[in-house]
Amino acid sequence: MGKPLSSKPDNSYGLMIVYHRRVTREVTIGGVPMGGAQPVRVQTMTTTNTLDVAASVAQCLRVAAAGADYVRLTTQGLREVEALAKIKQQLRAAGCAIPLIADVHFTPNVAMAAAAVADKVRINPGNFGHTQEEAGEQLEKLIAVCRAHDTVLRIGVNHGSLAQRMTERYGDSPQGMLESAMEFLRICRKHDFNEVVVSMKASNTRVMTEAYRLLAKAMDDEKMDYPLHLGVTEAGDGDDGRLKSAVGIGTLLAQGLGDTVRVSLTEAPEHEIPVAKALVQIAPEYPYALCCEKIPALVRHYDVPAREELLLRMACDAGPLLLDGCAGDFTFTANVGGKPLDKAQADELALALLQATRVRFTKPEYIACPGCGRTLYDLQPVLAAVKAATASLKGLKIAVMGCIVNGPGEMADADYGYVGAGPGLVTLYKGKTPVKKNIPQQQAVEELVALITSDR
């Protein structure tokens, strides 16, 4: 932990508030540094098919114009690596210098090819090599390519896709995520390769915050100072997506953890950037509170110019206290743009925050991927249709995932899943089991509701 930047008591609830920013090393991705004393960087991921070079270039230009510091593209095979090279060339020719990150799953050879093209490569230890020995050997080869090309590496652990050897030993837990990250980080350090960033994403905000905190402590204990990339996966869209992301990311930022953030929304990637930028500004205004006694019911008032800022302030202010069990309930009043917020809306948002912090569940929990180059259908209208058809099913977790390659692994502990299986085709899951395979998309929402109803 670094030097406290601010420390003030919040007399209203007797909380002692201390803010430190964790000291990390600086790494430079395509000329844009992060970590150290750099500002917290914001990034997003394209939703285009990476093979569609023109569409991907156009989307990268839009997110760069929106202020993204980096952009990530799904890079599942060698053809996508070739497309990535063309995308990079066309962006540079257009005068756009945004660094490109290749998102690779499953294939170490693709990661090595991508490391020669992209500014940074993200790998997932959960699906990089089948055995510990194989993963170690492949990582060593990848490090050599990264070193030769000045490419940064992200060790991107995901709660939903831990390696079997980790879940067998540690369960599907933050501890399993920690061991997964540390195994790869130790190999990087053994080879004195330090151009490394690390992430510990989950869709459950409590799992996510615990995993990052465990990692920060373990890295401190082993004298590692790799920067952290923060994100909540499959957060969904609209108010709920913003609240979930802001609670997880905001809690950690307020604690001084985090060097780059991705607010993952099931919306156009350029929508993520203003939310991420505002979050990075707002979170340190609510430094992490150490509570001595639990506050039974937190009551707040917010005066904000716009509704989106209200969501972020609620999440950064009340979110950490609810998430960490320091407060048991939450209500608020607000003036938005000078007008009082209607009580019904305020109550609805307070319940949404209680659900995002996993204090109280009053509606179904939706786990929806943001979409990427692998997405097999138009996610936004499908998510809206699923939400409309299942709104009364309180207590259920329903996943809406764009592809069958990563979707089933990443929908974590969802009770039911709607997963893209092929063009125009959907497979429905009950827990981790596919129960209706390859049904036409036109009837998939109806079939999902029928499946849920038949079980109730």
Residues that bind ligand SF4 (CB under 6 A): 369-372, 374-375, 401-403, 405-407, 410
**Smallest gap, in angstroms, from Cβ of residue 432 to ligand SF4?**
15
Q: Do residues 39 and 129 touch, judged by C-beta distance below 8 A?
A: no
Compare residues 140 and 413 and give the one whose CB is closer to ligand SF4: 413
**Smallest gap, in angstroms, from Cβ of residue 62 to ligand SF4?**
18
Compare residues 64 and 401 and give the one whose CB is closer to ligand SF4: 401
**Smallest gap, in angstroms, from Cβ of residue 426 to ligand SF4?**
13
Q: Which of 23, 43, 46 is nearest to 35 (CA)?
A: 23
Tokens for 435, please give them: 């129960």
Q: Which residue is nearest to ligand SF4 (CB)?
A: 402
Compare residues 156 and 319 and give the one whose CB is closer to ligand SF4: 156
Determine how β-strand 15-20 pairs with β-strand 27-29: unpaired
- CA–CA dist 318, 123 (Å, integer): 34
**Smallest gap, in angstroms, from Cβ of residue 47 to ligand SF4?**
8
Buried b (16+ CB within 10 A) or exposed e, 22-60: bebbebbbbebbbbeebebbbbbbbbbbbbebebbbebb
**Smallest gap, in angstroms, from Cβ of residue 338 to ligand SF4?**
39
Q: Do residues 308 and 245 touch, judged by C-beta distance below 8 A?
A: no
- CA–CA dist 208, 177 (Å, integer): 10
- CA–CA dist 426, 437 (Å, integer): 7
Compare residues 181 and 405 and give the one whose CB is closer to ligand SF4: 405
Compare residues 110 and 354 and give the one whose CB is closer to ligand SF4: 110
Separation of CA 139 from chain center: 23
**Smallest gap, in angstroms, from Cβ of residue 109 to ligand SF4?**
19
Q: Which of 83, 106, 224, 220 is nearest to 156 (CA)?
A: 106
**Smallest gap, in angstroms, from Cβ of residue 268 to ligand SF4?**
14
Compare residues 314 and 405 and give the one whose CB is closer to ligand SF4: 405
Compare residues 136 and 434 and give the one whose CB is closer to ligand SF4: 434
DSSP string, 355-421: HHTTS---SPEEEE----TT--S-HHHHHHHHHHHHTT-TT-EEEEES-TTTHHHHTTT-SEEEEEE
